[in-house]
Amino acid sequence: MDDRSSTAAEKAAILSQALPYIREFQGKTVVIKYGGHAMETLELAQLFASDVVLMRLVGMNPVVVHGGGPQITDLMRRLGKEPTFIEGRRVTDSETIDIVRMALVGKVNREIVAAINRNGSYAVGLSGEDAGLIRVSQRDPQLGFVGDVSAIDPTIVVRLINEELIPVIATIGVDADGQAYNVNADAVAGAIASALDAEKLVYLTDVAGIYERWPDENSILPQVTTKRLEEILNSGLVSDGMIPKVESCINALRTGVKRAHILDGRLPHALLLECFTREGIGTMVTDA
Ramachandran category for residue 256: left, alpha or beta (phi over 0 → left; psi -120 to 50 → alpha): left
Mean pLDDT of the chain: 89
The DSSP 8-state label assigned to residue 108 in this structure reads: I
Looking at residue 42, its pLDDT comes to 87
Whole-prediction pTM value?
0.92
Protein fold of 25-286: Carbamate kinase (3.40.1160)
Looking at residue 218, its pLDDT comes to 79
Could you tell me the sign of the dihedral formed by the alpha carbons of 98, 99, 103, 104, in that order?
A: negative
Looking at residue 65, its pLDDT comes to 98
**Spatial CB neighbours of 281, under 8 Å, sequence gap ≥ 6:** 208, 209, 263, 264, 267, 270, 273, 274
Tally Cβ neighbours within 10 Å of residue 84: 14
d(CA 134, CA 196): 13
Domain residue ranges in the chain? 25-286
Looking at residue 86, its pLDDT comes to 87
d(CA 233, CA 246): 8
For residue range 16-68, list pLDDT tens digits in order: 777 888 888 889 999 999 987 677 788 899 999 999 999 999 999 999 999 99
User: What residues in the chain have per-residue pLDDT under 70?
Assistant: 1-15, 37, 279-280, 288
Tell whether omega for the bond before 20 is within 30 degrees of 0, i.e. cis. no
d(CA 93, CA 29): 35
Looking at residue 1, its pLDDT comes to 47
Pairing assessment for the beta strands 85-86 and 134-138 based on DSSP bridges: unpaired
Looking at residue 274, its pLDDT comes to 84
